[in-house]
Amino acid sequence: MSTKGLNRNLQTAKSSKKDEFYTQLSDIERELKHYKSHFKNKIVYCNCDDPRVSNFFHFFSYNFESLGLKKLIGTCYKNQEMDLFSENKSENAIILEYSGDKNGNSVPDKNEIGVKKLKGDGDFRSKECIELLKQSDIIVTNPPFSLFREFVTQLVQYDKKFLIVGSFNAITYKEIFKLVQENKLWLGYGFKGGNAFFKTPHLKEFAKGVYDEETGLVKFRNVTWYTNLDISKRHEQQILYKEYNPKEYPTYDNYNAIEVSKVADIPGNYNGVMGVPITFLDKYNPSQFEIVGSDSDVKSGLLPEIVKSGWTGKTDRAYINGKRMYARLLIKLNK
């Protein structure tokens, strides 16, 4: 199946509001190993997680001591559209709290984890979940794809640190892109080979090739990690070995910028604005580059200086010889 096909599947997941996609423990371990220093003495809240099945809760409870956590909280959403296959079979929304190993066996035992019923449905936007959010330092979860925007907006509103899973396309949402540009959110390390596998009860809705009946896992190519925790990746300098020449880097018909169709080919000696694929964000180091804006910023009139003077044609995307380009980010080298 093509990447486009796989991305369409994620779109289906979002639009049909099917939100049950359970993250694999191995993927959580793989990402979290880069963030260890951030967790010492911190309260971690997994707020879209049934702690009885969530690998996020599992990871943090089993690594509680090695990370030096202060407390772990998990709340589960009382699924309104529960079906026979849903893992989320709770009658009530619940909260689980863990404050570390008490009996010295280094394992989170049942009697060490406090379980209480929530009054409401465990919606991350509910008053009681917001109270828990306020007490917490770092939110780590895979939130519902269909509510990603709202989820991030709430985290920013309460000034929380976070590490969450989301669709790569979310970068193009106005609200999310603004946060990227303001250096309030960036991409984490990502899934192995760009392939994210999730357990889901919605198998039958996905094409063969996307799901594996035996493992019960679906594969999405268009999913990544978003965070506002500092990571070394963000400080790595990309080696820019190419030199600008007008033949290889044509100027757009409509933008005052040159086309750089591969992130690895960004010329190191060009001082103007360059259009690059959005995968650039995976390599973005804010001390090396400035993000000037996106296609939609141009279209909505936020970057008038980018539009060529006298241009009367389309500004929905960059064009070269009348050919519409894929979505581009407009960047500049920091001097």
Ligand X SMILES: C[S@@+](CC[C@H](N)C(=O)[O-])C[C@H]1O[C@@H](n2cnc3c(N)ncnc32)[C@H](O)[C@@H]1O
Q: Which stretch binds ligand X (CB under 6 A): 119-127, 205-213, 234-242, 322-330?
A: 119-127
- Residues in region 203-242 near ligand X by CB under 6 A: none
144 near ligand X, rule: CB under 6 A? yes
Q: What is the Cβ-side half-sphere exposure of residue 24, based on CA atoms within 13 angstroms?
A: 16
* Single-letter amino acid, residue 81: E
142 near ligand X, rule: CB under 6 A? yes
Picking from 122, 118, 124, the residue whose alpha carbon sits closest to that of residue 150 is: 124
* Single-letter amino acid, residue 87: E
Count of other CB atoms within 10 angstroms of residue 68: 14
The mark string for 68-97 relative to ligand X (x by CB under 6 A, - otherwise) is ---------x-x--------x---------
Alpha carbon distance 273, 48 (integer Å): 40
Q: Which is nearer to ligand X, 95 or 273 (CB)?
A: 95
Count of other CB atoms within 10 angstroms of residue 111: 8
- Residue 297: its H or E element: helix 295-299
- Residues in region 272-301 near ligand X by CB under 6 A: none
Q: Which is nearer to ligand X, 205 or 290 (CB)?
A: 205
C-alpha dihedral sign at 283, 265, 246, 295? negative
Q: Which is nearer to ligand X, 123 or 297 (CB)?
A: 123
Smallest distance from ligand X to CB 88, Å: 5
Picking from 187, 167, 160, 195, the residue whose alpha carbon sits closest to that of residue 43 is: 160
267 near ligand X, rule: CB under 6 A? no
Judge whether 69 and 42 are in contact, CB under 8 Å: yes
Smallest distance from ligand X to CB 81, Å: 9
54 near ligand X, rule: CB under 6 A? yes
- Residues in region 12-41 near ligand X by CB under 6 A: 19-23
124 near ligand X, rule: CB under 6 A? yes
Q: Which is nearer to ligand X, 31 or 295 (CB)?
A: 31
